[in-house]
Amino acid sequence: MYYKKLLLLKVLIIGLLTGLTIFYFHLQQPKTQSNTIFTKLFDSQNHPSGFKFYTDEINPKILGYGGKFRILVTLDSDLKITEAQLIEHHETAAYINERIEKFLYQFIGKSGEHFKIGQNIDAMTRATISSKAFTSSIEQGIEKIRQIISDRHYFSKKNTKKIVPVTNYFDQIIPFLLFMLAILAMLNANQILRWITLLTSLIYLGIIKSSMLSIITLGNISLGQTPDYNLNPIWYILMTLNLLTLILFKNVYCASICPFLAVQDIANTIRQKLHFSSIPMNNKLRITKYFVLGIALLLFIIYRNTDAIIFEPYVLLFSGNPSVYGLILLIILIATSFFIYRFWCKFFCPWGALQKLIYKLNLFTVPAPKSTIEEKNDSKKIFLTLYIITIVFIILTIAFNITNLKKSTISAHSPGTNVLMTEKNESDKIKKELEAKGIRPVSAKYWEKL
């Protein structure tokens, strides 16, 4: 009876969480487009001189790697691009910052052609998804304006040139295959299959795609920033399959897929081959990872910025630009994994902690008797030392992130960005207020931009 009640409770909780999540995502939908999706520009003699638009206003559905972004595009009257400026984004700041100016510069002077990354547009290094998203939104924006100003019948679909980003089939199949392989491996306790999965994940998810599950993912979801499916299907497939397996099967991700797991298990195998003995662990300290999870989430709530919580080794290794402290932390974790089996996973991994919590909702587990892991009476001093050093460097890494937060937010935008952001929101409000009082702003003379 107890078992059935527990099952029912689990189903209810899963149902409730699913419902809330769907509701949450529904709320995050972009608001209805305002009528002014682009602005006409006039010169000092009041002749039409071009147009300007914000990519997220003209194409609210195109999202970057990290979600919403905004590029201000200025066109002359022939719809040739005269200026393109990145105003806001949620991409990986480290990759975008240095490359965005050069990237956007490619668009200047271009008009009407189809932009193709790899052909007439070079992508930003290690930011392919961002590059594709930016390109697509600029191109579609111009196309929309062209249709509006040239077509008499705005709603006629005859001349519509729809540019839809091509879905990458490869990226959809491989993550799916990974999970299937991992499940098979677990069902058959097949070590070879497990290694194939691990290595494929290390190379594909880790090195090639830099796409894995971490608390950064949690952060993004809570900010409502989910990527466009067409541009980043891996994200969705990983999330969905992970949740499904956790609730219906086992913690497949942590056991066979996580790319850092591959690193740790390789290290462990090397240790075994070289006949080193492992360092005895203090298993009571496994609870630390729940604290890591809690504190990381707390920090995220305070700073509302995923850059603050970059400290997980798989993030640092595969998709971060680790600071000095992050690098040392990474080295410590890799080094210790040679001597302590799954040091990170067992004691510090916040994602693993979350997985374990969600696993409690699994519909098929039989409550197991409390396991008595026999604690050896050996000295745990070495372990404690390593444990404390790791904690210190996690703290240092996070602290460094936080102090750099303000700096990186500013440098993530193009110069003059904050000006334009406030301007866009505020100037419309101001213009409306003035208009209500019968005041019409007219171009003035004798001024300069600073």
Residues making contact with another protein (CB under 8 A): 419-420, 422-423, 426-427, 430-431, 434, 437-450
Annotate 314-360 with three-state secondary structure: HHHHHCCCCCHHHHHHHHHHHHHCCCCCCHHHHHCCHHHHHHHHHHC
For another protein, the closer CB: 26 or 449: 449
Return d(Cα 304, Cα 285) in angstroms, integer.
29
Cα four-point dihedral sign 399, 403, 409, 414? negative
Q: How many CA atoms lie within 13 A of 104 on its CB side?
A: 23
Which residues, listed in sequence order, are joined to residue 41 by a DSSP beta bridge? Answer: 50
- Which residue is listed with tokens 């490869």? 170
Question: Which residue from 295, 280, 276 is spatially nearest to 398, judged by alpha carbons?
Answer: 295
Question: Which residue from 419, 402, 384 is spatially nearest to 72, judged by alpha carbons?
Answer: 419
Shortest distance (Å) from residue 6 CB to another protein: 58
Query: Do 91 and 126 touch, CB atoms closer than 8 A?
Result: no
Return d(Cα 414, Cα 419) in angstroms, integer.
10
Tokens representing residue 127 in the block: 């930011």
Shortest distance (Å) from residue 40 CB to another protein: 12
For another protein, the closer CB: 169 or 446: 446
Return d(Cα 413, Cα 405) in angstroms, integer.
13
Query: Do 184 and 190 touch, CB atoms closer than 8 A?
Result: yes
DSSP 241-277: HHHHHHHHS--HIIIII-HHHHHHHHHHHHHHHTTPP
Shortest distance (Å) from residue 177 CB to another protein: 51
Shortest distance (Å) from residue 441 CB to another protein: 4
Return d(Cα 113, Cα 74) in angstroms, integer.
16
| Burial of residue 376 (number of CB atoms within 10 Å: 0-12, 13-18, 19+) | exposed
Shortest distance (Å) from residue 143 CB to another protein: 24
For another protein, the closer CB: 373 or 442: 442
CB-CB neighbours of 58 under 10 Å:
21
For another protein, the closer CB: 367 or 438: 438
For another protein, the closer CB: 363 or 410: 410
For another protein, the closer CB: 166 or 442: 442
For another protein, the closer CB: 71 or 129: 71
Shortest distance (Å) from residue 90 CB to another protein: 23
Shortest distance (Å) from residue 352 CB to another protein: 47
For another protein, the closer CB: 153 or 445: 445
Q: What is the DSSP letter of 445?
A: S
Shortest distance (Å) from residue 412 CB to another protein: 20
For another protein, the closer CB: 282 or 427: 427
Shortest distance (Å) from residue 431 CB to another protein: 7
For another protein, the closer CB: 331 or 430: 430
Shortest distance (Å) from residue 54 CB to another protein: 12
For another protein, the closer CB: 112 or 416: 416
Shortest distance (Å) from residue 89 CB to another protein: 20
Q: Is 113 helix (H, G, I), strand (E, B) or coil?
A: coil
Length of the chain: 450
| Burial of residue 196 (number of CB atoms within 10 Å: 0-12, 13-18, 19+) | middle
Tokens representing residue 56 in the block: 């997220």
For another protein, the closer CB: 224 or 441: 441
Q: What is the DSSP letter of 99?
A: T
107: Cβ–Cβ under 8 A, 6 or more apart, which residues?
73, 81, 84, 115, 121, 138
Shortest distance (Å) from residue 78 CB to another protein: 22
